[in-house]
Amino acid sequence: MTDNILVVDDEQRIIDLARMYLEQDGFRVTSATNGNAAKNMILRDKPSLVVLDLMLPGMDGLEVCRRVREESDVPIIMLTARSEDIDKIVGLELGADDYLTKPFNPRELLARIRAILRRADRGNAQDQAPPPITIANLLIDPQRRRVEIDGRPVDLRMKEFDLLQALAQNKGVVFSRDKLLNVVWGYDFAGQTRTVDVHVAHLRHKLNGMAPTIETVWGVGYRLDDR
Amino acid sequence: MTDNILVVDDEQRIIDLARMYLEQDGFRVTSATNGNAAKNMILRDKPSLVVLDLMLPGMDGLEVCRRVREESDVPIIMLTARSEDIDKIVGLELGADDYLTKPFNPRELLARIRAILRRADRGNAQDQAPPPITIANLLIDPQRRRVEIDGRPVDLRMKEFDLLQALAQNKGVVFSRDKLLNVVWGYDFAGQTRTVDVHVAHLRHKLNGMAPTIETVWGVGYRLDDR
DNA sequence: TCACAATGTAAAGTTTCTGTAAAGCCCAGC
DNA sequence: GCTGGGCTTTACAGAAACTTTACATTGTGA
């Protein structure tokens, strides 16, 4: 049973961003752009979790949260533009389950959603992390953050692991450097695209016995070989 | 397809500074020194991103931002002289994508511009990759950027692939060389139309077992055979 | 058939992109 | 503070692709 996440924000950009990450992680996503619609959707559709922006046209996030709490204990993650606002929310004790300031890292949003759903409990240990991936003689275990080639462990650093995982989860698909920066580094990373190249070089060096290799698609990006 | 950045500031010094850094990084730069001109240029020229000073003669930055947002979701980076103003901007939630205080570090401006442009479109472009196309014994997979004839992979270079994809997506339709330059090379390509011919020649050579061939429509252009 | 324009194509010239080593930077742990 | 490890930036060389050029070939209309 896939979880349904309701994302409420008046900026379509934020909704699109969240949707991209959440759907890639196997969630269904619905959205609303104002407080009234949000409140109605929460009570009618009973999503598994709500991501709720504080500033909304019409009924604001605080008000939505208060009203919803009268009838439902759906987990709520509040988004705020300024970190100081968090104090306000917390002070009001209106029952949000977690808070994030914009601009937020989508990977962090994902992590908190998973944490809360896990806490809310449905016994599924497996929605914490994707299942292990095996490609030829390569094994990637996201939960343990372990990689093996022919059963021999390979010592990867954080970015190397994330990069490999991203490529392996979409074996054969070409990722542009920009795409990889978005997926692995987060949408607010402000560095150069060449950073990706350096990590790919490290990976290739450490994985030189790997059956599928990381191919360069000239002028486009990288992919984990399919064949 | 280089991005065009509009820099709006009443200080020519700031514009020159930004222009120097941005152009060195491969961006095209246009500029305006007052709010009205800025608003008109944004709506008319549709720049990829706007750097907008808060304090402007005539219509100020906040007002420009608000007006523009009614018709466009172009990414906007606001510049302010004092850090306290940032709270004001953020509090107003008028849809700026990022903020910088003057005096700003030009390299940081560059980094934020790159980050925003990256999340704005490049990243999503991959998600919207069209589905694989099959024409007779030819298979084109845009997501993997792979081409097969009778199941045998064909090694194409970037432009060759893009060209084939463009023709295949409109099988039977005649493309003029100019049209192909627009679609494949981008509207700002400054080269000769004969460039297309050369790539078509390469393609024909690599795809010589392909059932539908690339036909020359004499005096008009090329098309991928329908029958 | 001839003249002329359009197209095919090989090869040279040019540009862009990538691999990689090394330096710089930042932060957690001591 | 210092130190070490990991991450990012930078610089440069080499590789690969792209564009231009020049000449050959083909198609068109008189």
Give the DSSP letter string of B81-125: SSHHHHHHHHHHT---SEEEESSPPHHHHHHHHHHHHIIIIIHHH
Q: Does the C-beta of B191 come within 7 A of strand D?
A: yes
**Topology (CATH) of B129-224:** Arc Repressor Mutant, subunit A (1.10.10)
Q: How far, in Å, is the CA of B216 from the C1' of nucleotide D25?
A: 15
CA angle B66, A79, B127 (to 5 degrees): 80
CB contact at 8 A, A137 and A210: yes
- So where are chain A's domains? 4-124, 129-224
Nearest to A56 by CA among A38, A77, A82: A38
Residue contact A82–B91, C-beta within 8 A: yes
Evaluate if the CB of B151 falls below 7 Å from strand C: no
By Cβ distance, the residue of B91, B123, B158 closest to A220 is B158
Q: Report the share of chain B in percent with pLDDT over 70.
A: 89
Confidence band (pLDDT; 50, 70, 90) for A153? very high
Q: State whether residue B219 is helix, strand or coil.
A: coil
Strands A175-176 and A138-141, bridge-based pairing: unpaired
Q: pTM higher than 0.85 for the full model?
A: no
Which of A107, A188, A216 would best serve as a mutation to test chain B binding (most B beta carbons within 10 A)? A188
Neighbour order of strands in the sheet with A4-8: A28-32, A4-8, A49-53, A76-80, A98-101
The amino acid that residue A77 corresponds to is I
Least confident of A44-58, A140-154, B207-221: A44-58
Q: Taking CA atoms, what residue in A is nearest to B127?
A: A20
Strand boundaries in chain B, DSSP class E: 4-8, 28-32, 49-53, 76-80, 98-101, 133-135, 138-141, 146-149, 152-154, 175-176, 214-217, 221-224
What is the per-residue pLDDT for A191? 92
Q: What are phi and psi of A24, to 5 degrees?
A: -65, -25
- Identical topology for domains A4-124 and A129-224: no
| Calpha distance A133→A141 (Å, rounded) | 6
Distance from CA of A45 to the nearest CA of B (A): 27
Contact A76, A108 (CB under 8 A): no
CB-based contacts of A211: which residues, under 8 Å, 6+ apart?
Answer: A135, A136, A137, A138
Contacts of B90 in chain A (CB under 8 A): 81-82
Compute the mean pLDDT over every residue in chain B, rounded to the nearest whole number.
87
Whether A174 sits inside 8 A of B126 (CB atoms) is yes
Question: Could you read off the pLDDT of B56-112 as tens digits, one per residue?
Answer: 888 888 888 888 888 888 888 888 877 656 555 554 556 677 878 878 888 889 998
Q: Are A42 and A85 in contact, with CB atoms under 8 Å apart? A: no
CB A28 within 8 A of CB A63: no
- Amino acid A106 CA to nucleotide D14 C1' distance, rounded Å: 38
Q: Is A82 in CB contact (< 8 Å) with chain B?
A: yes
Work out the minimum CA distance from A44 to partner chain B, whole angstroms. 29
Taking an 8 Å cut-off on Cβ atoms, the answer to whether A187 and B115 are in contact is yes
Query: What Å value separates CA A31 and C1' D3?
Result: 49
Question: How far apart are alpha carbons B154 and B170 in whole angstroms?
Answer: 21
Nearest partner of B87 among A83, A103, A122, judged by Cα: A83
In this complex, do A187 and B124 lie within 8 Å of one another by their Cβ atoms?
Answer: no
Short-list A179, A22, A24, CA closest to B123: A179
Residue A60 has pLDDT above 80, yes or no: no
Closest CB from A16, A82, A190 relative to B87? A82
User: Per-residue pLDDT for A70 more than 90?
Assistant: no
Q: Does B208 touch chain A (CB under 8 A)?
A: no
Q: Is A203 on the interface with B (CB under 8 A)?
A: no
pLDDT at A73 over 80: yes
Quote the pLDDT of residue B23.
85
Q: Are B27 and B62 in contact (CB under 8 A)?
A: no
Å from B51 (CA) to D7 (C1')? 29
Does the pLDDT of residue A130 top 80, yes or no?
no
CA of B46 to C1' of D5 (A): 45
**A65, A70, A75, A81: CA torsion to nearest 10:** 10
CA dihedral A21, A25, A26, A31 (to 10 degrees): -20
**How would you classify the pairing of strands B146-149 and B152-154?**
antiparallel
Instruction: Say if residues B180 and B172 touch (Cβ distance below 8 Å).
Output: no
Q: Which two tokens stand for residue B65?
A: 């931002």
* pLDDT score of B40 more than 60: yes
At A93 the pLDDT is 59
B114 touches strand D (CB under 7 A): no
Mutation pick from A101, A182, A223 vs chain B, by most beta carbons of B within 10 Å, is A182
In angstroms, the separation between the Cα of residue B26 and the nearest Cα of chain A is 13
Cβ-based contacts under 8 A for chains A and B? 70
How far is CA A43 from each of CA A65, A68, A72, A99, B117, rounded to the nearest angstrom?
A: 12, 7, 7, 21, 37
Write down the pLDDT at residue B87.
Answer: 54
Question: What is the spatial distance between Cα A60 and Cα A72, in angstroms, rounded to a whole number?
Answer: 18
Lookup: tokens for A46: 């009973």
Name the closest residue on chain A to residue B86, using Cα atoms.
A82
Token reading at B190: 């400054």
Output DSSP code: residue B182: I
Q: What is the pLDDT of residue A126?
A: 44
User: Which of B100, B144, B157 is best to mutate for the A interface (most A CBs within 10 A)?
Assistant: B144
Q: For B4-124, which CATH superfamily applies?
A: Response regulator (3.40.50.2300)
Rounded distance in angstroms from the CA atom of residue B100 to the C1' atom of nucleotide D15: 40
